[in-house]
Amino acid sequence: MSGSAYAIDVTGVTKRFGDKTVVNAIDLRVQRGEIYGFLGPNGSGKTTFIRMLCGLLTPDAGTGTCLGYDVRTQQADIKRHVGYMTQKFSYYEDLTLRENLDFIARLYDVPDRRAAVQRSLERLGLVNRSHQLAGELSGGWKQRLALAACLIHSPQLLLLDEPTAGVDPKARREFWDEIHRLADEGLTVLITTHYMDEAERCHRLAYLAYGNLLAHGTLADVLANGRLTTWTVTGPELITLAAALRGRAGVEQVVAFGTTLHVSGRDAAKLDAAVSAVRSPRHAWKKTSSSLEDVFISLMDQAKDNFA
Amino acid sequence: MRRFTFHRLWAMVLKEFIQMKRDRLTFGMMVGIPLMQLMLFGFAINSDPKHLPTALRIADHGPFARTLVAALRTSGYFNLVTEAATEAEARRLLRLGDVQFVINIPEDFSRQLLRGERPTLLIEADATDPAATGPAISAVRAISDHVLDRDLVGPLARLRAKAGPIDFQIHAHYNPENLTPYNVVPGLMGVVLTMTMVVITALAITRERERGTMENLLATPVRPFEVMLGKIIPYIIVGYLQLTLILLAARVLFDVPMVGSLALIYAVSLLFIAANLAMGITFSTLAKNQLQAVQMAFFFFLPSILLSGFMFPFRGMPEWAQWVGSILPNTHFLRIVRGILLKGNGLAEIAPALWPLLAFLVVAMAVGVKRYRQTLD
Ligand SMILES: Nc1ncnc2c1ncn2[C@@H]1O[C@H](COP(=O)(O)OP(=O)(O)OP(=O)(O)O)[C@@H](O)[C@H]1O
Ligand SMILES: [Mg+2]
């Protein structure tokens, strides 16, 4: 245990499966009490990275600490202080909610177990369902159970792997409110997600593609470092316009959002030139700030050129 | 905190118990399989078959011979279907399976009997199915000793010799090694336990892996030995349940004698049950999925039936088979159980068979703990 300001502090973490490098020399520092968002396309190595943090996989290279414990040698200590919520529901479907929580509480030797189980049921609003088999729950309730279970031993660090996949917007919002409450109490949270609105609720973000860390920092940092210029267009026959734009030098993304079109590119001068070439008074053109999604897609396209 | 703790073991045990309770089908099978096997084997053993087709070859039609034939008929075991004129014909009937027995009454049966020469009564039996012939042959022995008592009166009474007036010769064809039900039912204990115990734990860890619960389990501080022991303990109880069922059935349905101490059987069985469970757990750390685990269990089960002395007499097997057989827990358990139940053996006599069981348990458990992957690598 150390008083280090970082809950997670790793450098050069690498994992290979066969000859495929799934996580490539990632450096990451997460401060205590921070909510850290981890984003990236499918197969980018998010789950693999998290598994290495909590001792489920051994890194092929790299060093670092998690809660002050060495990620390579002190995995047993890490396990006791980390709550890990797996991407796929991994509690026992043939046990009731209470039995599941009780089982986990016993494994961690939680003091005053009964009371702890009861508290966690209450906190997540599961009391009424505590005698229901976990397998009979809907997706959203399963997520709540999983969160309750990985909190029961009062961990210092939460690793949440896509905790809100397939959960309705209201439940998602409640979930995030809970995460923020926990962070206020001093818990550090590393959370992966594919939702941009959730990314915006994190204190800091990291974006991973093909195992490489492409961007990290606060939302503003990430947006600024994306160096993306974006135009929005409204008007008739957007499909024809989009076809005319695609393939022009400087135009990297043309995406339709309902009745508007987003056109973006990293080279502002070239993009402006391309826009001028197709611009007509029939459409309303406006330069806007790029969204996180625009930035991420642009990052991914770059990554494809560089790594894939 | 790196060491074994009881609270984590207890957590595993409780969890397994609840899951076992919920999984009615598997639990039903645990109880059903021993009963079913007993019934299947039991039909062959227990039916105490009567009215077996029998051919007579009578060369002497004297009164003693007639009495004897009448007694055999009334015993109910023999259905005298035909008379064979020649020895060749008798052989043919046996070979074709038209009759199960040929009873030969020699030419001068009555005369030899009167002279006190103990004439030979030869019974030829088709012993391919010893379970069928056994009871009939025992009946013949009982009959022969006293059937003639009523005829041998007055001056002939001296012929009621101690050894019986007739010398019975039984030729068991095709299968000279007579298995008896007494041998089979105790053997069944080992077979049923091997079958169910290995399969049930072979599935234990692969199931966690397939359902994805393994990832969670690995993320907690639980140790490999705690997981394994936690999965073994509940099934020890199931094993004892099966054992009790079979012992009860052996006693009530099949009248198997129980000479030795039941307490000793129960005590020793712990070792055997644990050895099989450990084997299953080890399989489940090796297998990639449940199907593979079941296949492994099956490959273990086959030699446990064939090479343990359950199917074939152990000493009759080729040396390599004996060598394989003596590794298997079932081989030693069979000796122990037969020894205790039938011969009344005590701890001292069965001790030589205990060590191999213990050694097997330790090795299986060690391999399992070593192979248990603590990471997902
Ligand atoms: N045990 C394994 N053996 C071999 N390859 C693996 C293994 N686990 C993951 N991979 C591969 O590593 C890559 C990264 O997988 P990972 O699950 O870390 O991605 P992810 O970012 O979590 O994706 P998603 O958003 O879909 O959850 C994938 O290509 C995957 O196929
Ligand atoms: Mg993932």
Q: Per the CB < 8 Å rule, is A76 touching B221? A: yes
Torsion of CA B70, B73, B75, B79, to 10 degrees: 170
Q: Confirm or reject: Cβ of A46 under 6 Å from ligand 1.
A: yes
Is B313 in contact with B183 (CB distance < 8 Å)?
Answer: no
B5 shares contact with chain A (CB less than 8 Å): yes
The predicted structure's pLDDT at residue B176: 41
Pick the residue with more confidence: A219 or B160? A219
CA-based nearest residue in chain B for residue A89: B212
Q: E strands of A114-242, at which residues?
A: 157-161, 188-192, 204-209, 212-217, 229-234
Residue A62 — left, alpha, or beta (φ > 0 → left; ψ -120 to 50 → alpha)? Answer: left
- Main-chain dihedrals φ then ψ at residue A19, nearest 5 degrees: -100, 15
Query: Is residue A117 scored above 90 in pLDDT?
Result: yes
Instruction: Determine the Cα–Cα distance for residues B153 and B155; give it in Å rounded to an integer.
Output: 6
Residue type at B167 in one-letter notation: D
Ligand in closest contact with the CA of A23: 1
Task: Please calculate the CA angle B212-B214-B220 and round it to the nearest 5 degrees.
Answer: 130
Q: How far is the CA of B218 from the centre of ligand 1 (A)?
A: 18
Instruction: For each of the domains in chain A, give its residue range(s) and CATH number, in order of start.
Output: 6-218 (3.40.50.300), 229-289 (3.30.70)
For A86-107, what is the mean pLDDT?
95
Instruction: Determine the Cα–Cα distance for residues A303 and A211; give it in Å rounded to an integer.
Output: 10
Pick the residue with more confidence: B2 or A304? A304
Is B85 in contact with B134 (CB distance < 8 Å)?
Answer: no
Taking CA atoms, B234 is separated from B20, B21, B76, B201, B208, in Å, by: 8, 11, 49, 10, 16
Q: E strands of chain B, at which residues?
A: 52-58, 78-83, 101-105, 120-126, 167-173
Strand partners, A15: A23
Q: Confirm or reject: Cβ of A48 under 6 Å from ligand 1.
A: yes
Which one, of A237, A227, A231, A232, lies nearest residue A272 by Cα?
Answer: A231
Q: Confirm or reject: Cβ of A143 under 6 Å from ligand 1.
A: no
Q: Is A229 helix (H, G, I), strand (E, B) or coil?
A: strand
Q: Which residues of B touch A58 (CB under 8 A)?
A: 375, 377
Question: What average pLDDT is seen over chain A?
Answer: 90
For A35-63, what is the mean pLDDT?
93
The predicted structure's pLDDT at residue B332: 93
For A79-87, what is the mean pLDDT?
94
| Among protein residues, the one whose CA lies closest to atom 8 of ligand 1 | A48
Strands A260-265 and A284-288: unpaired
Instruction: Determine the Cα–Cα distance for residues B61 and A147; give it in Å rounded to an integer.
Output: 94
Cβ partners under 8 Å of residue B157, min gap 6: none
Q: Which residues of B105-141 are buried (b: 16+ CB within 10 A; e: fewer)?
A: bbeebbebbbeeebbebebbbbbebbbbbbbbbebbe
Q: Per the CB < 8 Å rule, is B218 touching A56? A: yes
Instruction: Determine the Cα–Cα distance for residues A92 and A103; give it in Å rounded to an integer.
Output: 10
Find the range with the poorest average confidence among A87-96, A111-120, B202-211, B253-262. Answer: B253-262
Q: Per the CB < 8 Å rule, is B2 touching A76? A: yes
Strand partners, A69: A66
For A24-29, what is the mean pLDDT?
94
Instruction: Determine the Cα–Cα distance for residues A193 and A205; give it in Å rounded to an integer.
Output: 11
Task: Please calculate the CA angle B52-B54-B57 and round it to the nearest 5 degrees.
Answer: 165
Instruction: Determine the Cα–Cα distance for residues A219 and A216; give it in Å rounded to an integer.
Output: 9
Q: Which residues of B touch A86 (CB under 8 A)?
A: 212, 215-216, 219
Q: Per the CB < 8 Å rule, is B14 touching A89? A: no
Question: Which letter does DSSP use for residue B272 in this model?
Answer: H
User: What residues does CATH 3.40.1710.10 cover in chain B?
Assistant: 52-159
Residue among A23, A39, A46 to mutate when testing ligand 1 (max atoms within 8 A of CB): A46
Is B192 in contact with B33 (CB distance < 8 Å)?
Answer: yes
Cβ partners under 8 Å of residue B26, min gap 6: B20, B200
Rounded to a whole number, what is the distance in Å from the CA of B1 to chain A's nearest CA?
8
Q: In this predicted model, what pLDDT tens digit does every residue of A173-216 receive, in sequence order?
A: 989 999 999 999 999 999 999 998 999 999 999 999 999 999 99
Could you identify the residue written with the tokens 């401060």?
A: A31
Instruction: Determine the Cα–Cα distance for residues B139 and B143; give it in Å rounded to an integer.
Output: 6
Find the range with the poorest average confidence among A32-36, A246-250, B166-170, B292-296. Answer: B166-170
Rounded CA Rg of chain A: 22
How does pLDDT run along chain B (377 residues), one tens digit per residue?
Answer: 457 889 999 999 999 999 988 988 888 888 887 778 777 776 655 445 677 888 888 888 777 778 878 888 887 778 888 888 888 888 888 777 778 888 888 888 888 877 777 777 788 877 666 666 777 777 777 776 666 666 665 666 655 555 566 666 666 554 444 445 566 777 888 988 998 899 888 888 888 989 999 999 999 999 888 998 999 999 999 899 889 988 888 788 777 778 788 999 999 999 999 999 999 999 998 888 889 999 999 999 999 988 888 877 677 678 898 899 999 999 999 889 888 887 788 888 888 889 999 999 999 999 988 888 777 77
Query: What is the sign of the dihedral through the CA atoms of B49, B55, B58 and B63?
Result: positive
| Among protein residues, the one whose CA lies closest to atom 28 of ligand 1 | A43
Query: Is residue A288 scored above 70 in pLDDT?
Result: yes
The predicted structure's pLDDT at residue B170: 62
Tokens representing B234? Answer: 């509940």
CATH topology of domain B52-159: abc type-2 transporter like fold (3.40.1710)
The predicted structure's pLDDT at residue B156: 61
B20 shares contact with chain A (CB less than 8 Å): no
Q: Is B361 helix (H, G, I), strand (E, B) or coil?
A: helix
ipTM: 0.84
The predicted structure's pLDDT at residue A167: 87
Q: Which residues of B319-348 are buried (b: 16+ CB within 10 A; e: fewer)?
A: eeeeebbeebbbbbbbbbbbbbbbeebeee
Q: Is A172 helix (H, G, I), strand (E, B) or coil?
A: helix
